[in-house]
């Protein structure tokens, strides 16, 4: 898994799909950790194509998941005809998570899979799989270790499927959300070390909802104490400033609980808060 799969660069979409399908052909039943993002959605779709109702897609609901994203996961499951279920996770009860250390995601994924594993055992699903892709292996993702410790399979990563592959395959399969922006949990909006609370998650969610309603798809609202920092695609910043009523926006964000509202002139970049990790390396 750690070596690049250069053969995939010349494989057709149908060949890549067969690679994924072959994993599920070797399984009788499987439980899919299905967040509604494009990665786990593709995995859930292929598992369903191969196993039918012997594949169970499970979505974890918690304060760190926006209501709209939960509803999207539900509607996508209906569209694909998935066997779908929602469970509650309780990572917010764990101080190791809410204290927001650099390995916060480890505790999140531990809670997720400690919730899914008993369900899988009780209902005779021998395999639990997730939507980790090959690109994720090159990023800082402490949650990968939690999944490995619990024997979770990652079909996309196992056969070297990248994020671009996922989008191309999703489009080929006719999934309308093939170009859906990545949407990690709301806890990723906080700098490491800032205490995460349900109230803080809620206000960040309200701010991002406000911006989504303006038609902005790819965005983040970073929370840094009393300051909301808006990140937008760099090529959209100029139009945003020119067309959005900034006074109304600031008033809304202040009503949601922030004192200050800023716009990040560098623009949106995934994983930006991980830059601090490089500074701690001696």
The predicted-structure confidence for 256-275, as pLDDT tens digits, reads as follows 999 999 999 999 987 777 77
pTM: 0.91
- Report if residue 181 sits inside a domain: no
Spatial separation of the C-alpha atoms in residues 127 and 120, rounded to whole Å: 8
Q: Are 277 and 140 in contact (CB under 8 A)?
A: yes
Same domain, 34 and 139: yes
Give the residue among 34, 12, 48 at the shortest CA–CA distance from 165.
12
Is 179 inside any structural domain? no
Task: Show Cβ contacts of residue 162 under 8 Å, excluding neighbours closer than 6 positions.
Answer: 8, 133, 134, 135
198 lies in the same domain as 160? no
CA distance 257 to 27: 49
Per-residue pLDDT of 195-217, as tens digits, reads: 999 999 999 999 999 999 999 98
Whether 185 is catalytic: yes
Give the per-residue pLDDT at 76: 98
- Quickly list DSSP for 71-104: HHHHHHHHHHT-EEEEEE--GGG-HHHHT--TTH
Residue-range definition of the domain harbouring residue 125: 6-172
pLDDT in tens, the chain (282 residues): 444 444 445 578 889 899 999 999 999 999 999 999 999 999 999 999 999 999 999 999 999 999 999 999 999 999 999 999 999 999 999 999 999 999 999 999 999 999 999 999 999 999 999 999 999 999 899 999 999 999 999 999 999 999 999 999 999 999 999 999 998 999 999 999 999 999 999 999 999 999 999 999 899 999 999 999 999 999 999 999 999 999 999 999 999 999 999 999 999 987 777 777 766 544
Q: How far apart are CA 15 and CA 8, in angstroms?
A: 9
Tokens 């202040």 found at: 254
Domain containing residue 35: CATH number: 3.40.50.620
Answer yes or no: do 15 and 89 share one domain: yes
- Residue 275 belongs to some domain of the structure: yes
Report the domain count for the chain. Answer: 2
From 105, 108, 185, 207, active-site residue: 185
């Amino acid at each position: 898994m750690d070596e690049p799969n250069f053969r995939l660069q010349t494989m057709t979409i149908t060949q890549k799909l067969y690679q994924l399908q072959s994993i599920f052909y070797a399984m009788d039943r499987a439980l899919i950790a299905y967040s509604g993002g494009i990665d786990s959605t593709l995995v859930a779709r292929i598992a369903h194509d191969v196993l039918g109702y012997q594949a169970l897609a499970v979505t974890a609901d918690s304060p760190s998941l926006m209501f709209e994203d939960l509803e999207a996961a539900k509607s996508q499951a209906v569209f694909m005809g998935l066997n779908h279920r929602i469970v509650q996770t309780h990572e917010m009860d764990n101080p190791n998570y809410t204290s927001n250390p650099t390995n916060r995601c480890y505790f999140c994924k531990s809670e997720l899979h400690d919730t899914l594993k008993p369900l899988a055992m009780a209902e005779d699903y021998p395999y639990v799989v997730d939507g980790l892709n090959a690109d994720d292996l090159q990023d800082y993702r402490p949650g990968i270790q939690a999944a490995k410790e619990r024997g979770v399979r990652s079909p996309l990563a196992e056969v070297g499927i990248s994020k671009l592959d996922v989008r191309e395959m999703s489009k080929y399969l006719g999934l309308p959300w093939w170009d859906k922006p990545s949407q990690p949990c709301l806890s990723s909006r906080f700098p490491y070390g800032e205490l995460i609370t349900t109230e803080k998650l809620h206000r960040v969610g309200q701010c991002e909802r406000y911006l989504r309603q303006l038609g902005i798809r790819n965005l983040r609202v970073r929370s840094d104490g009393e300051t909301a920092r808006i990140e937008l695609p760099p090529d959209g910043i100029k139009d945003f400033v020119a067309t959005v009523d900034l006074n109304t926006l600031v008033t809304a964000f202040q009503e949601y609980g922030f004192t200050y509202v800023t716009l990040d002139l560098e623009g949106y970049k995934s994983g930006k808060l991980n830059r601090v990790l490089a500074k701690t390396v001696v």
